Amino acid sequence: MSSKDPLLQPFTLKHLVLKNRLMSTSHEPAYSEDGMPKERYRLYHLEKAKGGIALTMTAGSAVVAEDSPAAFGNLHAYKDEIVPWLKRLADDCHGEGCAVMIQLTHLGRRTGWNKADWLPVTAPSGVREPAHRAFPKEAEDWDIERWIGQYADGAERMQAAGLDGIELECYGHLVDQFWTPSVNKRQDNYGGSLENRMRFGLEVVKGIRKRVGPKFIVGIRMALDEDKPGGFGRAEGLTIARKLIDEAGVDFINVIRGYIDTDPALAKIIPITGMKAAPHLDFVGEMKAALGVPILHAARIADVATARHAVASGKLDLVGMTRALIADPHIARKVAEGREAEIRPCVGATYCLDRIYEGGEALCIHNAATGREATMPQIVPKSTGKKRRVLVVGAGPAGLEAARVSAERGHEVILFEAADEAGGQIRLAARALRRRELLGIVDWRLQQLEKLGVGLRFNKWAEAEDVTGEEPDIVVIATGGLPQAPALETGTDLTVSSWDILSGDVKPAKEVLLFDDNGAHPGMQAAEVIAEAGSKLEIVSPERFFAPEIGGLNHVPYAESFQQHGVRITIVRRLTAVKRAGNRLQAVIGSDFGDYVETREVDQVVVEHGTLPNAELYEALKPDSVNRGEVDYKALIAGQPQTMVRNPAGSYRLIRIGDAVSSRNIHAAIYDALRFAKDF
């Protein structure tokens, strides 16, 4: 793409010249260690900088005070020791021509009290946030005074670290908890009228400005329309923004529409797969026209064409492609080099964000190198060793990734697939229109394999002789698994699997009981298919809440569908047996909590209990392999090659990955493949 590309035009923000319009908006990947952005954090941002973006907004709400304990690994901006860590990160990114800012915040009621220093959660008023469940203390005058100073201290530290600017998180956090009448019930001069509700935010920004001087860039990420019962609308939002710009010298606005108190509300701000792309873009354009300051925005602008349109249409100045950059940190470079088609697509799975709310770190469903830059390559280097013959069996996500990485290493790759197309379980998941984008995981790899000259051999059910006949140096078994039945006293043969429903092989009956003894997507997706077919459905789960392996944002579409179709959800109960009852079935239900029996009469019982590995080929190939299938876990963890020899007479190394080992998920399959194949 030529330099006329709207995305590649420079933009001047105050005095700062940004080399293009692409940015990563603030997001906490939870890579912090002791609240500090150490090596993992630095390498993560450095990779995006190398990938060519103009600006990385680091941290997800680095916290400015001890009484705002980290909710999801947030950085501790209230500690002086953060300065050298951030300085190193900023210096490295600046070295790549990428500007660095940071988002600061106090979480107010959006955190918990039973961690870190066990200080009470404090907010403008004692109104509880459903998502974090703390009952806040109403802020006292000394809290307010202290916070204003702490925000300024935090900003000063960021300036000392050599960052190009800061952004305050003002949607769902402390500052806007003062703005919104839905939270601020105060009777003093910080509550009531808009003038009073704006007071705290203005004092905070003025305090920061006084401390950092007129040149340092200070922006606000804020909801300009809460779109919330009892919240503020666009007129008040614009008044607040205007005042912050005119009276406190705010340099840019990063536009949000909505609120984040609940999962469904958050999903409107961070839409997931199957939801509308760029849902707020027109609103953002209206805000830009009304405010006349630089405007930043991100919300499911996941592809370059939409990002280009957003900039070209003048609706915003800097476009956040935040999850897209988690999936491929090199978007900007690929656009600049005319290799747009090679961008690894963000498929909206939102595995990344759902993980941090469950206490994990952000990981991309199909880029296992992101967040692991110290050990896993984003760009797989060519091998300097001997060219090898790598034979991969199975073209699901694990096999496709193993083939891709092996080919990038420069090896000769043969890929056998028993079916007539690639994708494995992803094809099943993508049968639902709502999750169709998951096919991007398969298609991107197929496209890469084509570019690398790897031909797939479909309809090839590989026996051991087929494999050994190819005289491979390395064999990768990625044969996946097949549905595993849960342990029932009787009647397994009377049940059908979630895969039967998902594949369309079995039609949902009139009245269905679905026993989900996995807690992940396959059971829930089958339930959605059954409910939407008009069947009467009860989901039974032995868990304390349904589908615990699915994170908050991915729960939203399921919960909406189940509510809409009147699905009955029964938790802490276990299906123990299925019996015939005339031409219907009797499901016997027990409990892990002591003696308990109840029954249901239904037309169909669907079960989900993960998969059993397809391991016959692996077992057959073990004896003649050099390692007898064994993995050196220490070397694997350290990111080093497998060199174990158990059978010196063996003619190939045998590696088993993905669900062919045990029932896991797409990320595990792809990480298995990458971490072995990068050393082939």
Ligand X SMILES: Cc1cc2nc3c(=O)[nH]c(=O)nc-3n(C[C@H](O)[C@H](O)[C@H](O)COP(=O)(O)O)c2cc1C
Tokens of 484: 């595993």
Q: Of all residues in this chain, which one has the CB nearest to ligand X in the complex?
A: 60
Interaction between residue 25 and ligand X (CB under 6 A): yes
Least distance (Å) between residue 221 CB and ligand SF4: 20
Site string for ligand SF4, 306-345 (x = CB under 6 A): -----------------x--xx------------------
Site string for ligand X, 190-229 (x = CB under 6 A): -------------------------------x--------
Chosen residue from 7, 13, 22, 27 binding ligand X by CB under 6 A:
27
How many chain residues bind ligand X (CB under 6 A)?
24
Residues 6+ apart with CB under 8 A from 337: none
Residues 6+ apart with CB under 8 A from 518: 549, 608, 609, 610, 663
- Which of residues 76 and 355 has its CB atom nearest to ligand SF4 in the complex? 355
In the region spanning residues 646 to 665, those forming contacts with ligand X, defined by CB under 6 A, are none
Residue 273 near residue 434, CB atoms below 8 Å? yes
Least distance (Å) between residue 205 CB and ligand X: 17
Q: Which stretch binds ligand X (CB under 6 A): 189-197, 293-301, 389-397, 484-492?
A: 293-301
Residue 36 DSSP code: B
Q: Determine the Cα–Cα distance for residues 545 and 10; give it in Å rounded to an integer.
A: 49
In the region spanning residues 45 to 64, those forming contacts with ligand SF4, defined by CB under 6 A, are none
Q: Determine the Cα–Cα distance for residues 581 and 263; give it in Å rounded to an integer.
A: 41
Least distance (Å) between residue 357 CB and ligand SF4: 13
In the region spanning residues 252 to 281, those forming contacts with ligand X, defined by CB under 6 A, are 270
Q: Which stretch binds ligand X (CB under 6 A): 110-118, 292-300, 432-440, 481-489?
A: 292-300
Least distance (Å) between residue 240 CB and ligand SF4: 31
Interaction between residue 352 and ligand X (CB under 6 A): yes
Question: For helices 397-408 and 439-451, what crossing angle results, to 10°?
Answer: 30
Count Cβ atoms within 10 A of the Cβ of residue 545 and give its class: 0-12 exposed, 13-18 middle, 19 or more buried.
Answer: exposed
Minimal CA–CA distance to 423: which of 444, 442, 398, 448? 442
Tokens of 606: 């669907």
Out of ligand SF4, ligand X, none, which partner does residue 301 contact, by CB within 5 to 8 A per kind? ligand X
Q: Determine the Cα–Cα distance for residues 179 and 297; give it in Å rounded to an integer.
A: 21
Site string for ligand SF4, 342-381 (x = CB under 6 A): ----xxxxxxx-----------xxx---------------
Count Cβ atoms within 10 A of the Cβ of residue 433 and give its class: 0-12 exposed, 13-18 middle, 19 or more buried.
Answer: exposed
In the region spanning residues 110 to 169, those forming contacts with ligand X, defined by CB under 6 A, are 169
Interaction between residue 25 and ligand SF4 (CB under 6 A): no
Q: Which stretch binds ligand X (CB under 6 A): 112-120, 295-303, 460-468, 507-515?
A: 295-303
Alpha helices in 51-102 (DSSP H): 82-95
Q: Determine the Cα–Cα distance for residues 52 and 399; give it in Å rounded to an integer.
A: 30
Q: Determine the Cα–Cα distance for residues 108 and 427; give it in Å rounded to an integer.
A: 43
Alpha helices in 14-104 (DSSP H): 39-50, 82-95
Minimal CA–CA distance to 444: which of 283, 336, 530, 324? 324
- Which of residues 13 and 302 has its CB atom nearest to ligand X in the complex? 302
Q: Which stretch binds ligand X (CB under 6 A): 23-31, 203-211, 524-532, 619-627?
A: 23-31
Residue 483 near residue 497, CB atoms below 8 Å? yes
- Which of residues 271 and 410 has its CB atom nearest to ligand SF4 in the complex? 271
The structure tokens 């469903």 sit at: 365
Interaction between residue 175 and ligand X (CB under 6 A): no
Interaction between residue 300 and ligand X (CB under 6 A): yes
| Binding region for ligand X (CB under 6 A) | 25-29, 60-61, 103, 169, 221, 270, 298-301, 320-324, 352-353, 356, 362
Binding interface with ligand SF4 (CB under 6 A) = 323, 326-327, 346-352, 364-366
